[in-house]
Amino acid sequence: MVAYALRRLLGLVPVLFFVSFVTFGLIRLAPGDPVLIVLGGKKVDPATAAVLREQFGLVGDPFSQYIAWLGRALSGDLGESFRLRQDVVSLIVDRLPLTLELIGLSMLIAIAVGVPLGVLQAHRRNSVIDYAGSLLALIGLSAPVYFSAIVGVLVFAVWLGWVPAFGAGSDPLDQLHHLLLPAAALALGTIALTSRMTRSAMIEALTSDYIEAARAKGLPERTILVKHALRNALIPVVTVTSLQVGFLLVGSVLVETTLGLGGLGSLITDAIQNRDYPVIQATVLLLTVAFSILNLATDLVYGVIDPRIRLG
């Protein structure tokens, strides 16, 4: 198990080199001089531009630039944002908590709604509840996350006035209040997947022999549902739901941009719009690392929950 995890982690290393190289190459292929973009299109004398270019590490051929960037990155220096003139690492540290809070809250909502919904649907199969749940899941899977966010603002902030429409709040509790709507919008897709998974896993579990045995023993229905069926049905559910963190991460980019939240997601889109090389490079790499590690973690979690699965 440990050996397997280590081998997978090692396998990640070349992938990350590939990702950083592709990102580096891509942003440098883009037309337009970042120095001129940073200066806002103003006329600059060549001497100033040259100084800036030197400062930004934009001299020499792209490949040696990449090697230089890589050397600094490996020692923990991800450079300075061209536009915000701030250290990229501290920029990310500033922005990350909001995104993590958003994703964590989303995950919580998704599990708190999705799992009970799926259990209920499986328990009352082909009932009105079952069909309503399936319809909700279909909508959750099909609604673009930025549209859910906009509808959410319109209904819950503007018409009902339950939650604030924009911004991220100041103190932690206020922030939670502000993030409720974005997190719920982000959670819709995951709720859909979680409830679908729970439903089909529960239906399969409920038809198995050990449930028959539990019924024959005269156990109460609730015990059968929760302690016997759900516990076995939970493996695929946990796997798929934890995989969703990666997709929530990507979805958060859209939600943050839509609702004007200053997290990691809007940092990325701003950086891409403004050709802020060091920020793009660092954030894309960070998201890719997170995405890959999450995939690995999912496989490992799977192995822990179900001892029948031998990783090797």
Partner 1 sequence: MTAAPVAIRRGGLFRSVRRSPLARNRAAVGGLIILLPIVIGTVAPWLLASFDPNAQDLSQSLRFPSAEHFLGTDKLGRDVWSRIVFGAQPTLLGAVVVVVISGLVGVPLGLVAGYYGGKVDALIMRVLDALLAFPALLLAILVVATFGRGLGTVVVALGVIYVPAMARLIRSVTLVQRTLTYVDAGRALGFSDGRILFRHILPNLVAAVVVQSTIDLAYAILDIAALSFLGLGQQPPDPDWGSMLADGRAYLLQNAWPALSAGFAIMLAVISFNLVGDGLRSQLDPRERER
Nearer to partner 1, 78 or 153 (CB): 153
Nearer to partner 1, 294 or 305 (CB): 294
Site for partner 1 in 30-69 (CB under 8 A): 30-31
From 162, 273, 304, 309, residue interacting with partner 1 (rule: CB under 8 A): 273
N-term to C-term CA, the chain: 7
- Rounded to whole angstroms, the Cα distance separating 278 from 65 reads 12
Nearer to partner 1, 71 or 260 (CB): 260
- The long-range contacts involving 165-170, CB below 8 angstroms and separated by at least 24 positions, are 166/259, 166/260, 167/260, 167/261, 168/98, 168/261, 168/262, 168/263
Q: Spell out, one character per residue from 238 to 257, where the chain touches partner 1: x when CB under 8 A holds, - when not.
A: --------xx-xx--xx--x
Nearer to partner 1, 35 or 280 (CB): 280
- Rounded to whole angstroms, the Cα distance separating 171 from 173 reads 6
Q: Does 4 bind partner 1 (CB under 8 A)?
A: no
- Rounded to whole angstroms, the Cα distance separating 217 from 211 reads 10
Q: Does 15 bind partner 1 (CB under 8 A)?
A: yes
Nearer to partner 1, 269 or 305 (CB): 269
Q: Does 154 bind partner 1 (CB under 8 A)?
A: yes
Nearer to partner 1, 78 or 287 (CB): 287
Backbone phi, psi, residue 59, to 5°: -100, 155
Q: Does 153 bind partner 1 (CB under 8 A)?
A: yes
- Rounded to whole angstroms, the Cα distance separating 245 from 38 reads 34
Residues 76, 89: contact at Cβ < 8 Å?
yes
Tokens representing 259 are 């609702």
Q: Spell out, one character per residue from 95 to 134, where the chain touches partner 1: x when CB under 8 A holds, - when not.
A: ----------------------------------------
Cα separation values, 46 from 36, 40, 43, 49, 51, Å: 11, 15, 9, 5, 9
List of residues contacting partner 1 (CB under 8 A): 14-16, 18-19, 22-23, 26-27, 29-31, 138-139, 141-144, 146-147, 150-151, 153-154, 158, 246-247, 249-250, 253-254, 257-258, 268-269, 272-273, 280, 284, 287-288, 291-292
